[in-house]
Amino acid sequence: MSTLRFGALLIALVACALCGSVVTAAPAFADAMPIFNADFSKGSGGQVQGWYAAAMHHKEADFGWSRTAGGYQVSIVSHVLNYATWRQAMMLGPGWYRVSAFARVDDAIPPGAGATLAVQTFRGARLVSNEIHGTSAWTPLVLYLKVERWGQITQILLQAGEEHTQGSGSAYFRDLRVESIAAPSADASNVYDLSTIAMAHVSPLNAIDYQRPLGILCGLFLLGAFAVCLAIIWRSALAHPTPAMIAGIVVLLAITVIEFVGLFHFEGYFWDALAKTNRSILAAALGPRRIYDQGLPVDSYPPGSLYLLWLSGWLGQVIEPGYNAFRVLVETPPLIASLVTGLTLLFAYAGRGRGWRGFVAMLLFAANPTLIFDTVVWGQSDAVVALAMLVAAFLILRGQYRLGWIAAGIALLTKPQAVAMIPPLGLWTLINTGLTETAICAALSVGAFIIGVLPYDAGHSIHRMIEVYQSLGGRFTDASVGAFNLHAMLGGLETPDSTRVGFVSYYALGISMLLGAFAVVLFLVWRARNATAVMLATFIAMFALYTLAPRMHERYVYYPLVFLVPLAFESRFLAASFAILTATSFYNLYFMKWLADTSTFFSDHAAWPIVTASAINVLLLAAIMAYALFRLPLRNGLNSSS
């Protein structure tokens, strides 16, 4: 079968799989209910389904869900002056709406805001109903909305207190409704016309918005460059398809279809899903010129990820789905990246006559419970970054240095954590190609990065993008932001990294140990004689970043775990390491997801399961580093000559 025919067959199979997925999930797209579980009747284990609790002082608020004679209700008890909410994402199409609920309060003393019902615009403005204070019977909370266009409203909130007028006491809510109406009565109060509210729409620009077409051109250029990188890895396998390849493609597509359907069932991590959907709407509404403006309600995202969010936001404007369907639309690109990563692993081996080994490598990735949990259950986008990083490493280790460093630039454009692979792969490039070629590769990588940021930085100060990446590094200041690593083992979960452990701060300890680990990594690359050793050193760099550096999230284990997939074939020790890391990281993700979904918070002392899992990861890093230094077999498993 020719490369062209097999490529056409592959595209047809992918198209059929995606169509089957959409047909299977069509009922979810057809669901026009603006909110889920409005009567609070659904839930289990003491937790109401579809609603998420948050408080400014989270350890000073209790959230409840119960059934009474009047029906189901949710409650908020604030022990100090606080701003606490039950909230849910919500999308509304154009038209008038009456939003209402019943509430009662106990000891909600003014001047605190008491109990209110509110909605939030995509630009962060909260539109509030009437308030109730003191101790009251069940009282209606009502507000009216005129929605100008889809995407203007992103959240609905049941509030006790407000951000700037915090309250105390107890608040109870039931019978929430969002009803489409012709128009409110003339004497109605709390009426909001979103076409006249500055923080609910996008004001016109005073200059030509040339950044939008520029962004489209730059995005297409980067997509084309990355397609060329994939073609170099895939072409040998596509030219000579084997039964192992066909079986791998069929299994991978089946897994992808199941995962796509699973996106509708699993709601993801609420705060990240809400931030990404909101940023997607902002990207489509504001364009590259204004997406990094000050005062927007969500954190900054790197430019590489904004291209995908921009596309999802534009599609949302076209089809105007409900929130759940729009969330799936935003979370689909990482699922496609997972599909492409599985194909890349399969074709990388099959192109060198190891089709069944490629089949197993694909399964180790595609059926890995931790990686599935990250993409489908958490709804994270780490698969996109991991794909670019893996393609860059494969190309560089096969001698395609220039294309590899273009892929590395794209990876850095998408997530700053990709910087961990730069030192080992950069040194390997320098050793094998010399200073001149390394400089060319660096220029190509920087060029790809500049092309990616150009639409977002054009017309602004050159310092703008520097500030974006600085904000990414300084957004969280905990020693461990959920990662079961060295800092979690020492008690640093939800602990500022300026806190001292012994004689040094968590931050100083982590950075010092990370620098030591990278010194070992560079030594491993300097003495390496084959691609396997360099791949292992690159994995160690990524795993050391996750295990030793402060401010790490639990999901950042995704990248080293993906790089460990091809290494698992090299020895029993590395295969066992892959299994151990899969187990500890799955527990890490599962535990943190449970923590978020149940609005539970860490105790002042780390629990022994967290300490144990963290210690295993620290010991595993030490063991793999010792293995690379003293026991690494001299095999050419990943080398271009194998």
Token output for 76: 């908020």
Let me know whether 220 and 188 are in one domain.
Answer: no
**Structure confidence by residue, pLDDT tens digits, 468-505:** 777 777 778 889 999 999 999 998 787 888 998 888 99
The verdict on residue 71 lying in a domain is yes
Q: How many folded domains does the chain comprise?
A: 3
* Residue-level pLDDT at 25: 47
Let me know whether 289 and 340 are in one domain.
Answer: yes
DSSP code, position 369: H
Let me know whether 188 and 239 are in one domain.
Answer: no
Let me know whether 501 and 357 are in one domain.
Answer: no
Let me know whether 301 and 383 are in one domain.
Answer: yes
The verdict on residue 374 lying in a domain is yes
Q: Report the mean per-residue pLDDT for the chain.
A: 88
Comparing C-alpha atoms, which of 157, 175, 177, 191 is closest to residue 83?
157
The verdict on residue 584 lying in a domain is yes
The verdict on residue 19 lying in a domain is no
CA end-to-end distance (rounded Å), the chain: 24
Q: Are 138 and 178 in contact (CB under 8 A)?
A: no
Looking at 200, 220, 252, the residue that finishes a domain is 200
The verdict on residue 465 lying in a domain is no
Let me know whether 191 and 58 are in one domain.
Answer: yes
* Residue-level pLDDT at 121: 92
The verdict on residue 49 lying in a domain is yes
AA identity, residue 513: M
Token output for 504: 């040094």
CATH assignment of the domain containing 134: 2.60.120.260
DSSP 556-572: GGHHHHHHHHHHTTS-H
**Structure confidence by residue, pLDDT tens digits, 365-419:** 999 999 999 999 999 999 999 999 999 999 999 999 999 999 999 999 999 899 9
pLDDT beneath 70, residues of the chain: 1-32, 198-199, 205-207, 298-299, 599-606, 632-642
AA identity, residue 249: I
Let me know whether 358 and 224 are in one domain.
Answer: yes
What are the Cα distances from residue 261, in Å, to 25, 266, 373? 6, 9, 14
Q: Are 629 and 520 in contact (CB under 8 A)?
A: yes
**In terms of DSSP bridges, do strands 139-147 and 191-193 run parallel, antiparallel, or are they unpaired?**
parallel
Task: Give the three-class secondary structure for 24.
Answer: helix
Let me know whether 221 and 136 are in one domain.
Answer: no
Looking at 417, 434, 460, the residue that finishes a domain is 460
* Residue-level pLDDT at 14: 56
The verdict on residue 178 lying in a domain is yes
Percentages helix, strand, coil for the chain (3-state, rounded to 5) are 55, 15, 25
Domain that includes residue 526, residue range:
476-642
Spatial distance between the Cα atoms of 368 and 390, rounded to a whole number of angstroms? 16
Task: Give the three-class secondary structure for 62.
Answer: strand
Looking at 400, 429, 460, the residue that finishes a domain is 460
**Structure confidence by residue, pLDDT tens digits, 52-75:** 998 988 878 999 999 988 789 999
Token output for 628: 């690379």
The verdict on residue 471 lying in a domain is no
* Residue-level pLDDT at 24: 47
AA identity, residue 472: L
Spatial distance between the Cα atoms of 276 and 262, rounded to a whole number of angstroms? 18
Task: Give the three-class secondary structure for 147.
Answer: strand
Element containing residue 127 per DSSP (H, E): strand 126-128
Comparing C-alpha atoms, which of 522, 451, 36 is closest to residue 225?
451
Let me know whether 237 and 317 are in one domain.
Answer: yes
* Residue-level pLDDT at 603: 55
Let me know whether 193 and 323 are in one domain.
Answer: no
Q: Are 118 and 84 in contact (CB under 8 A)?
A: no
Q: Are 543 and 420 in contact (CB under 8 A)?
A: no
Q: What is the dihedral of CA 396, 401, 403, 404, to 10 degrees?
A: 30
Comparing C-alpha atoms, which of 606, 545, 558 is closest to residue 585?
558
Let me know whether 480 and 404 are in one domain.
Answer: no
* Residue-level pLDDT at 502: 82
Let me know whether 592 and 565 are in one domain.
Answer: yes
Neighbours of 3 (CB within 10 A): 16
Comparing C-alpha atoms, which of 19, 434, 452, 377 is closest to residue 222?
452
